[in-house]
Structure 1
Amino acid sequence: MTKTHSDAAIILGERVREQRLKLGLTLEDLASLSEMHWTSVGKIERGQVHPNVETLVRLATALNADPGVFVEGLTASMYEKRVHGLTAADFIREREREASRRSEAS
């Protein structure tokens, strides 16, 4: 059985495949249009790899799509290696709380 990269990679790959099939393109067609090897496109569609931004833009351009449609709704929590769920807002809020506690203690 082939290992997938992440839930996000699976969703992104499904979206690419759906758009490719909707246009009646083969893997080879899409690979040629996006200047990639067809096996690389296949790995992306199966969620085995997550494309970098350049690859995503190449695929989207070949598919006449906005690259954003492929990543819409994907979140960091969809990646297995995420250690924490903090955002910049969480970090700033905690930093401000800590500063407030220090000033109250002074």
Structure 2
Amino acid sequence: MKEARSSASERFGALVRDLRDKQTISRKQLAELADMDLSHLARIENGQGNPTLFVIIQIATALGVPPERFVEGLTAADLPDDVKPYSLTAAIREMRRRQHRE
């Protein structure tokens, strides 16, 4: 099996799988309820997918939970290593640092 895309993807997928298992819904049934492709759901559950906001809402609705349940507790540290968002303060500091280098 491929490695998870990120800690966030891995946590999201594990939560989907856990909620689905607790409700004794098969992956195929959840895919049908969420109106999505089974292979897409499998990638998400395995932590390899990067679900859009629409997909998060689809899965949450099918599982009967609020969409925010899937992002609760996630931070920038859960993103892939090649994605580094900046806070406004950090962005200003980085812009100044780059200007001084020029």
- TM-score normalised over the length of structure 2: 0.82
Unaligned runs of 5+ in 1: 99-106
Moved over 6 A (4+): none
Instruction: State the alpha-carbon separation in 1 of the partners of residues 89 and 18 from structure 2.
Output: 35
AA of the residue aligned to 2:32: S
Q: Which residue of 1 aligns with 2:99?
A: none
Instruction: Percent identity, please.
Output: 32
The structure that has the greater radius of gyration is 1
Shift of 1:60: 0.2
Aligned match of 2:39? 39
Q: Specify the SS of the correspondent of 2:14.
A: helix
Q: Kindly report which structure 2 residues correspond to 1:1-106, keeping only aligned pairs within 5 A, or say none.
A: 1-79=1-79, 80-83=81-84, 86-91=86-91, 94=93
Pairwise CA distance, 1:51: 0.3
Q: Distance in 2 between matches of 1:91 and 1:81?
A: 16
Tell me, in whole angstroms, the C-alpha distance in 2 between the residues paired with 1:89 and 1:67: 29
Unaligned runs of 5+ in 2: 97-102
Give the aligned length: 94
**1:86 CA displacement:** 2.9
Q: How far apart in 1 are the matches of 2:62 and 2:91?
A: 39
Paired letter, 1:14: A
